[in-house]
Structure 1
Amino acid sequence: MGACLANNNDCSPFPKAIAQSNGLPIEQVYKLTKKIGGGAFGTVWLAQRKDNSKCKFAIKKINKKEVQETEINLLRREIDILKEVDHPNIIKFYETYEDSNFIYIVMEYCSGGELFTKITSQGYLHENEAKLYMNKMLMAVSHLHSLKIVHRDLKTENFIFDSKCASKELKLVDFGLSNKFSRNFEQMHSQVGTIYYVAPEVLKGNYNNKCDLWSLGVLMFTMLSGDLPFYDESLPEVYRKLNSGLYSFSSKNWESVSGTAKDLISNLLVVNPEDRFSAIDALSHEWFNSLQRCESLMTASIYESFKNFRRHSMFQREALRVMVKHVPEEKLEKLKKLFFSLDKSRSGLVKTEDLIKSMKKLGNLNEKEIADVISSMESNQNGMIYYSDFISAALLAKKEIMEEALWLTFKQLDADNKGCITESSLKKSFECMGRNITDEQIQDIIVTVNETGGLITYDDFKEIIFRTTEGQSL
């Protein structure tokens, strides 16, 4: 008879550490107040910080005893994907905690409800409203595919609104069934997803990332009509309809829908994935012509902010990258428009060459200075600027926006929850957030900590953020 050498009589084969945790019990930092949903793994809870009840989060709580050994890699993959994605139409990830029984994934709390609820309460959506949401969904999926990620479970329940206000943003959630692929159109074989939204090739166990576009076709059909295109009470009949691609626009709700909308659906609900639209194809469809792609121009104040970002220390830059996730979405609207006007590939990434062209329109700028500015913003050094990198560098032109997010940024970097930032807390917080910080970069960051005697108080933190390396105040 074997003995179990674990706390709480936990004899699960689950490894001790799956998520990178700072070692603190989550109860010291967050209070889980109400169950609000569930996903492929675990339940989702509304939570608040114990030191500020106004700060709300969604925390996915996963019981390690209920996760099969074969599912461990799926869980690891979900966490890794959440750390990698960076788009305003995808749920924000903050950090992870782990104890002997549970893993906790801390994400942004979205209070606006599911797209599913909105459709069922209204019956169907007006075409202009559906167009706006479809554009956002396609942009989120285009970003995933540019990072070689396929979601595999796109449905109305997995798109939620961040608030109930008029300027609400639509967010993609639940990456429990998502997967990585190493090259475009790489075949996958796991039969996963939700039957009414799943592509026919997924049922056959041989598919690629185009399966997400079929699911978006189902979503678009449902938004405009209130019906599922392949619904039937008989499951064998559902399979027959899916495999044949049989659907129709015959219901009364389709009478007022434009021909261009129907044409886009017809190019998404194509049985042969080789003939099906990609996300970029769909975003380029004429149905979206009425949604003017904003051509926001680079301004002198934004460029000056980029220059200040370059002069900032490594600690300041990383703190600003953390801060972006704590700034309310509606406060970033102008910066977001500028980012997407520069995103010519519609991948949720800005090519450095496009950013350079935009900067040069400001006038006779120093080439070396531009190169240095770009290098400081390009965290992955791959010729692409990510959303958070761009916004963090531009934030310095919006000091009034930063004030609101300073405290939450400080608390996230205070991973030991001691009221100050230390070398130890920085290392833990970066690990929990999934920031790929090299040892050399860590040493550069720690220089700032050592300047304040080995710890940074909140007052120190505010002073550090608003100064340049030359000691000037912003």
Structure 2
Amino acid sequence: MQVARLRAKFDPRVLSRYDIKALIRTGSFSKFVRMEQKTTKKPFAIKVMETRMREGREACESEFSILWWVSYHYIVQLLEIFETQDQVYMVMELATGGEFFDGLISQGYFTEQDAVRILHMVGDGMRYLNALKITHRDLKPENLLCYHPGAESKFFITDFGCNSGNKSGDCTVRMLCGTPEIASEILLRKPYTSAVDMWAFGLITYVLLCRFLPFDGESHMRIYRTILKGKYNYRGDPWPTISLKEGLNRLLILEAKHQVSAGQALDHPWVLMTTGSSMKNIRVISQNFMRRASPQPQSPRSAQSSK
């Protein structure tokens, strides 16, 4: 019945080329639908964006202006587009492994070396975007997708609906955009650059290793205050055995001018390491991700970071 309802609302041009298989998820101005190309039987995802309202139209224009222009193996690929008066259909690569944490939990275990592999893919994608003067602005675990289930899957960056689309030499923007865990420049509504993506990269690295967000609070305002004060900590497992703390400090730093670039982050000794991690890290990190799959209380209050 769900497929029948979707088919009734789809543009005939899309249905002539693709069969609807299932609704993947819905958003404020969009929905993702799993499709199958009729001739090749290959699976794809179609993002249906509602453009009646100004917000949906701007998000659509923003995402289209980026994805139609970029091509990189760690960036979701836009393959085809259909447009009507009130909707835009974007045919994209299908990620069958789910979101960032879904892919990790499905492995059943997780090592420090796995973290290195994933961060290298995300960092490489960011380096490509930064070289093109593109700022994602809403980089977070939910916008990293696992291409297929399994430990060897690639991850790619998605959801550019919050992007300025600015590909000129100056990618400084002012728009307040993103999740509660966003860089201080955005919170203060200051002009900012792609350095905000590196701040988000630091946040993803922190969450990847210990499950918890570095900045905690019972409300958005409390989270904002801890971000603006730069308060976070390296307490408990697995931090005593992780050598990346100095690198994280340079990613989660308040002053953008002192922040490392994507290329510098990828050259960090921890990211370049080739040896595996200890069994302690494998056990602790795996348990943290498994616990994340069930409801959990708020993490302990943050304390001042060790710089």
Same fold flag (TM > 0.5): yes
CA distance in 2, matches of 1:202, 1:56: 37
Equivalent residues in 2 for 1:234-273, closer than 5 Å: 234-257=219-242, 259=243, 261-273=244-256
Output the amino acid matched with 1:203: L
Equivalent of 1:31 in 14, 19, 22 = 19
Q: Is the 8 A contact 1:97 1:104 kept in 2?
A: yes
Equivalent residues in 2 for 1:207-222, closer than 5 Å: 207-222=192-207
Q: Is the 8 A contact 1:40 1:177 kept in 2?
A: no
Equivalent residues in 2 for 1:98-137, closer than 5 Å: 98-118=83-103, 125-137=110-122
Bigger fraction of residues in helix: 1
Farther off after superposition, 173-182 or 139-148: 173-182
Q: What does residue 199 of structure 1 align with?
A: 183
Q: What does residue 152 of structure 1 align with?
A: 137
1:25 shift after superposition: 1.4
Q: What does residue 257 of structure 2 align with?
A: 274
Equivalent residues in 2 for 1:349-428, closer than 5 Å: none
Q: What RMSD, in angstroms, separates the aligned Cα atoms of the two structures?
A: 2.3
Q: What does residue 286 of structure 2 align with?
A: none
Equivalent residues in 2 for 1:11-90, closer than 5 Å: 25-38=13-26, 41-52=29-40, 54-65=41-52, 67-68=53-54, 71-90=56-75
Output the amino acid matched with 2:267: S
Farther off after superposition, 229-238 or 133-142: 229-238
Q: Is the 8 A contact 1:46 1:59 kept in 2?
A: yes
Output the amino acid matched with 1:33: K
Equivalent of 2:161 in 141, 164, 176 = 176
Question: How many matched pairs?
Answer: 264
Q: What does residue 301 of structure 2 align with?
A: none
Q: Is the 8 A contact 2:164 2:173 kept in 1?
A: no
Q: Is 1:139 equivalent to 2:127 in the alignment?
A: no
Pick closer, same or farther for the CA change 1:244–1:124 going to 2, 3 Å. Answer: farther
Q: Is the 8 A contact 1:135 1:288 kept in 2?
A: yes
Q: What does residue 319 of structure 1 align with?
A: none
CA distance in 1, matches of 2:108, 2:200: 20
Q: Answer with 1 or 2: which has the greater Rg.
A: 1
- Between the two proteins, what is the percent identity of the paired residues? 28
1:169 shift after superposition: 1.0
Q: Is the 8 A contact 1:152 1:212 kept in 2?
A: yes
Cα deviations by residue, 1:303-330 (Å, 9 ceiling, x for unpaired): xxxxxxxxxxxxxxxxxxxxxxxxxxxx
Output the amino acid matched with 1:59: I
1:71 shift after superposition: 5.0
Could you tell me the TM-score, scaled by structure 2's length? 0.79
Output the amino acid matched with 2:42: C
1:264 shift after superposition: 1.4
Alignment gaps of 5+ in structure 2: 1-10, 276-307
Q: Is the 8 A contact 2:135 2:171 kept in 1?
A: no
CA distance in 2, matches of 1:200, 1:122: 34
CA distance in 1, matches of 2:189, 2:155: 30
Pick closer, same or farther for the CA change 1:132–1:45 going to 2, 3 Å. Answer: same
CA distance in 1, matches of 2:109, 2:160: 26
CA distance in 2, matches of 1:121, 1:57: 22
CA distance in 2, matches of 1:74, 1:244: 31
1:161 shift after superposition: 1.1
Could you tell me the TM-score, scaled by structure 1's length? 0.52
Q: What does residue 430 of structure 1 align with?
A: none
SS at match of 2:68: helix
